[in-house]
Structure 1
Amino acid sequence: MRVGRHPDPESSEGSSDPDTFIVHSMTHGDRHTEMSGLAARSIQHALIPAAGQGTRIHSITGNNEKELITIDGEPVITHAIREALESGCSEIGVIVRRDKEGLVSYLRTNWANTVQLLWQSSPGGLGEALLAARSFVEASSFAVILPDDLVWGAQPAIKQLIDCARTTGKSVVGVAGPEEMTHPMFADCGRIGLARAPKVEATRTHGATYNPDKAADRRAVIGRYVLPPQSFDVLDAAREVSNGELGEGPVLRTLAQRGDLLAFEPFGECFTVGVPDGYRTTKKKIESPE
């Protein structure tokens, strides 16, 4: 069994930013051309950010890069690359620092003909990582897969988000299910707020508007996104006024305010391996299931 796959018969669907996004049902008639229009485009580009320092998992990794820790016998970076490939993405960029020599060597040895290495000078948040990939993506919509987060099941998680984006013409962020929110491994993940409404046809899909005071149901953001190319302009503007790490929050906020963001619960069991407790739990559940 591989990451992104789940034997659900009905299957057909980490941010450090503190903002909360309220999610409700929505129609798909009116679209803002500035940040949407995903429906008619195939998503060929996938970005895999891997330039972080991995300080939270250092007690497990020691001097090794966190992207090389193994789950089910393979490094998590390999699971992320395969998820992109199995989702139909033909242009895969791994965003990495040159001083992560072990990871760079692994990618060049095993994936030289599959991925393009995109260089980030220093870690500075997911927003900075995405900006490092701007010339690679150009004017295309793109998927984002964080290798820290795994969705273990029958269908690749990012493919589920891509299908949702194609169907609705909206950008999409992945969220954990309600039963997964009780696990401490998700304590440090970013949150969005969900509020179901009767007109939602797909129970795993929720529309989003930015209004942090009315969250009815808060969920952890898992590291899966489908975003438009205009995201880079939003991040550029946010960088000019940022005093610290640049997260993806400005993009999600802009999309949500325009009614162009969906939250999606992919089929599969969600894990985050970027913290020691999450890594141990993931290893146990996947490699030694009861």
Structure 2
Amino acid sequence: MQDGSTRVTAHGGSERPNVARLFDYYLGGAHNFAVDREVAEETIKKFPVAEMARTIRSFSRRVVRLCVEEHGIRQFLDLGSGIPTAGNVHEAAQSIDPSCSVVYVDHDPVTVAHARTMLRDNLNAAIVHSDIADVGAVLRHPETRRLIDFTRPTAVLMVGILPYVVDEPAGVVARYRAALCEDSVLALTHLTRDVEPQLVQQLVELADDMGSALVPRSKQDVEEFLCGLRLLEPGLVLAAHWRADGELPGASAEADSSTYGAVGLV
């Protein structure tokens, strides 16, 4: 990216490609800039990153429906949410029951600014500006405390975020799990090199170019994160196939094989 491609934006600072806005573009959202679209289109030519984004978002929607319709859960904590764009958690949950409350968490100030604008008229949804690894700060935040009562069943979603947790990800998962009462749900996806190592290496290099560390992990590694949970069928599998029920998002075989997914009861 040439220096001349930056400009001042409404959210302050220089406009540079942003991971959350790239994800928004891949999902067909409108919260992205020309510089994001340029990078996204270049990336799409190289590998199926848009299909991978849709695979993850489809998994998230299925989990939300399961929580609301089958488990009676009305509270959601979406960690590392990015911009709550097309098919987001609050829309999926509140379309079934408008009383559902959703707290998004993200550490990127640009993402948080976008999200606050989008959510300003929704009293049952908010975003917390925090690093998800600072579990105490997330759980004690006034917006979290306003919208989530952890004495009641809650769904914690870690969809696509754990590869960005470089240090002690199992400990981070365990601390959120410890905050949940019985019959709560913890759902996660995780990037893996197990099936498509060359494709995933390209993603790692792309993230590095944008200043982010991305750590794929094996199925055995991810199983450690799920220790102590009662996994719902079909257990830890490729996210594209977790209770897909004909809803596979038309991704390529490569995209389908890059991410594990699982849902567990506390």
TM-score (norm. length: structure 2):
0.34
Structure (1 or 2) with the greater helix fraction: 2
TM-score (norm. length: structure 1):
0.32
Structure (1 or 2) with the greater strand fraction: 1
